Amino acid sequence: MKRLNSFLTDELKGRDAVPDLLRGIAVIKMVLVHILEIFLVTGTFTLILESNFFYISGSTGPTVFMMVMGYYIAKSKKDNRDGLTRGLMLIFGGILLNILLNGSLLYHFFIGESDLNPFHYIFAVDILIFAGISLVLIYGVRLTTKFSLIVLIIMFAAVVLLSDYLPKNYFGTDYLMRYLGAVFFTKEEWSFFPVIPWLVYPLAGYLFANFENKIKLSVSQEKGILVIFILFTLLTIPGVFSGLASLSDYYHHGSQIIAWNLIFLTGYIVAVKYLNRVAGNNSLFYLIRWIGKNVTPAYVLQWIIIGNTGTFIYRTQSAESLLIWFPLIIILVYAGTYIWNKNKSRLIRD
């Protein structure tokens, strides 16, 4: 245990604890969500979906990833052209991840055992592709105008407004236009993180970083926010998601859920900050922060493991099996992330 604590202390030295903790909690919860969605029998999954657990997890999972990403873009001294390049790399990385996580499924297609459309899986708009698009848009604005902050505020407002008024369906026959529509706003089975509404969250993180120094909260004010946060959550959860008929409706949500998410996340972030202050120096918090620091390889690994395993056991597992699957995959993700970090320089060089 001393060796583990020493390793974690060295790894996390000089880093801001709260963003790493937020991302660490988010990726662990997303492992659980993906197991529930892909492994559990349909009846059990439906009951969980109806309980709003998935929607709340979405409000503290991908939304947190995107807000923290936007926050770090604002804080970064990275050249805008380098940021654009990173965005393009994330888009291509997202496509590669889609191929890897659906590897076994695509294999069955190519040997003639499945009639699925492989392009829906290869080019699915998952979070890495969306993150890359977000980087391209934000760094593109910063590169092309001196008034980038004003432009990004206008973009934020525009996304919120458009989320309610843009058409959700594409009825044309042009496949390229259909795909591009799904990337930006229309509903398709392969569109999980369309630009509208999800661009709101990296923009919110970016804008918060620009005004952070003007926000100073005392301990008593933080406690007051926590009380309001708990009451707000308990009183509003039954109604805010009641109009959603499916996960697709959540992925393509409108201004009501955007507003709820942003209010909820304000209290949630204060809660995590408070927890870190009172209990952040123990091994569990350090472990969560470490996986949050390494969120990209951890996210990729969990999807490769869950996606390919799911091809063989899709919706066949009981609720009790979570007691095996969840800790097993968490251990594999931590171990795989550690091995990747130890060898990535050599692997990339070779």
Q: What is the pLDDT along the chain (350 residues), one digit of tens a residue?
A: 667 777 777 788 888 889 999 999 999 999 998 998 899 887 777 677 656 677 777 788 899 999 999 999 998 888 899 999 999 999 999 999 999 988 888 888 888 777 788 888 898 999 999 999 999 999 999 999 888 899 999 999 999 999 998 888 876 777 788 888 889 988 888 889 999 999 999 999 999 998 888 877 777 888 888 899 889 888 888 777 777 767 788 899 999 999 999 999 999 999 999 999 888 888 899 999 999 999 999 999 999 999 999 989 988 898 889 899 999 999 999 999 999 988 876 655 54
Question: What Å distances lie between residue 69 and 51, 190, 202, 241, 341, CA to CA?
Answer: 29, 23, 6, 26, 20
| pLDDT for residue 347 | 57
Tell me how far apart the terminal alpha carbons of the chain are, to the nearest angstrom.
34
**Cα separation of 263 and 273, whole Å?**
16
Compute the distance between CA of residue 205 and CA of residue 89 in angstroms, rounded to an integer: 21
Determine how many CB atoms are found less than 10 A away from the CB of residue 174: 10
pLDDT of residue 49: 65
User: What pLDDT, on the 0 to 100 scale, is given for residue 68?
Assistant: 93
Which sign, positive or negative, has the C-alpha torsion 89, 131, 27, 314? negative
| pLDDT score for 50 | 59
What pLDDT was estimated at residue 154? 95
pTM for this model (two decimals): 0.91
User: What is the rounded CA–CA span in Å between residue 53 and residue 166?
Assistant: 27
Per the CB < 8 A criterion, the answer to whether 264 and 59 are in contact is yes
